[in-house]
Amino acid sequence: MSTTSSAVPFTDEELTRIRADFPILERTVRDGKPLVYLDSGATSQKPFVVLDAEREFYERHNSAVHRGAHQLSEEGTELYEQARATVAGFVGTQPDEVVFTKNATEGLNLAAYAFSNATAGGGGGAGSRFALGPGDEVLVTEMEHHANLIPWQELTRRTGATLRWVPVTDEGRLDLTDLGDLLTERTKVFAFTHASNVLGTVNPARELADKAHAVGALAVLDACQSVPHLPVDVTDLGVDLAAWSGHKMLGPLGIGVLWGRPEILDEMPVFLTGGSMIETVTMEGSTYAPVPQKFEAGVPMAAQAIGLGVAAQYLGELGMDRVAAHEEVLTAHLLKELAQRPWVRVVGPGAGADRGGTVAFVVDGVHAHDVGQVLDADGVAVRVGHHCAWPLHRRFGVAATTRATVAAYTTLGEIDAMLASLDRVPEMFGVDA
C-alpha cells in the first residue's frame, strides 16, 4: 500500500467492535461453517448504519427528490444533498463536483460518451477538448478493468480515433519506459486505474496525471479499488475525472460517483437526458441544468445515495489511514504465507510500497474454479475467474486466477482459515506440494 502515515492497525478489540456492525458476518454457510468473506474487492459488506439509513428513508421520507414541493420531497431532497456533501468531503472536494451515477461503469461510460457526443456536435457541452477524430488517440493501460477499457474501445470505434495502451511488467507494474512515445500531443485522454483489481498495484496517479496534462490530455481515473481502502483526496491526485462504486465502500448497490474538476464538468456534454437534468424545454430544443444535476437524469436513487453518504461517514470515523494500515498487515501476512507454498504463484507485486489488499494467485495444474470450490466448501468466499480483466490475464498467460481481497472488517484469522483450506488443494488434485 503502503500506509502514508504513522497510523496503527486496529486493535483486536476495535476489530471485534467493527465486525459487530456487519450482520452478515455472523451467518454460516455450507452446512454450518462460519462465513469467511474475502471477496470485498467484488463487493463489500454493509454495516447496520447503512442498512438502517436506507430503510429509514423508505419508511419516513420516501419521495421523488428534487421533484416536489411537499414535505416528504423537501426532506428527501435535503437528505440526498447532505449525502452528496458527505461523499464530497470524504474525498476532499466540493458537493457540486460530485455526480451520482448507477455505478462506476456508468460514470466511466458517461466520460467516454461525452467525447463522442462532442464529436457529433451535440450534448449541451462547450468543450472542443472532448471532440475526437482520426489522428487523435486514447491511452489506457494493460491492467484496466473492462469498465475502463471497453468504453474507450467503443469511443475510438465510433470516432475513428486510435486506442493505445501502457504495457505491464512481469512484476505487475506499469511499464513507463516508453510512456513518452505513447503519451503525445495526439493523446486526448489518458484513462488508468488507481489500484488494480487483480494485481493489487497502486499506480502513481499524480505522476500520470501530470504527464497527461503536459501534452494537453485529460486524465480519467478508475478509483474503485482505492477510495474504499486508502486515504484519497481526488484534487491532490491531479486527475480531471474519477469514478468509483458505492457498493465497494460499504455502501449500497446501485450507486456510484463520478467526480470531476468544475471546469471539466461544465464543458462536458451530457450523457443521459430527460427529466431532472433540464433548465428549459421547448418543442424545438432544450437547455440543461447546472452541474451536477446536468448529469443526473431521471428520478435519483435517493435511498442508495443516502446509504452511501452514511457509508462514507462510517469509513471516515474509522479513519482511512487506519483502514489502510490494517489492510497492509493482512496483505503482508497473506503474501508471506503464500510465498512459503511453492505450488502457489502470486500474480502481482510482493508486499511493500504501492501495493494494496488485492491478492490474485494461481495453483499451477488446478483451474481457479476448482480452487474456489474447495475454499467455498470450507465457507471461504473468494473470487475466481478473470475478474473483468481478460487482457491482463492473457498478459500473464493464465486463463483465470483465485483472488482474495480484504476490507476494514477482515481478520488475520480469516486469512489463516483461507490458507488452511487452500492447503487441501494439492492432495485433492494431485499437485506436488
Catalytic amino acids?
A: 388
Would you say 362 and 432 are in contact if contact means Cβ atoms under 8 Å apart? no
Q: Of 81, 79, 61, 80, whose CA–CA distance to 71 is shortest? A: 61
Would you say 260 and 223 are in contact if contact means Cβ atoms under 8 Å apart? no
User: Residue length, the chain?
Assistant: 433
Q: Of 296, 304, 426, whose CA–CA distance to 371 is shortest? A: 426
Q: What is residue 383's DSSP assignment?
A: E
Cell numbers linked to 138: 486514447
Cα(18)–Cα(410) distance, rounded to whole angstroms?
10
Q: Of 417, 313, 426, whose CA–CA distance to 53 is shortest? A: 313
Which CA distances in Å does 252 have to 46, 69, 289, 292?
7, 27, 27, 21
Buried b (16+ CB within 10 A) or exposed e, 192-217: bbbbbbbbbbbbbbeebbebbeeeeb
Cell numbers linked to 80: 440526498
* Chain CA centroid to CA 99, Å: 15
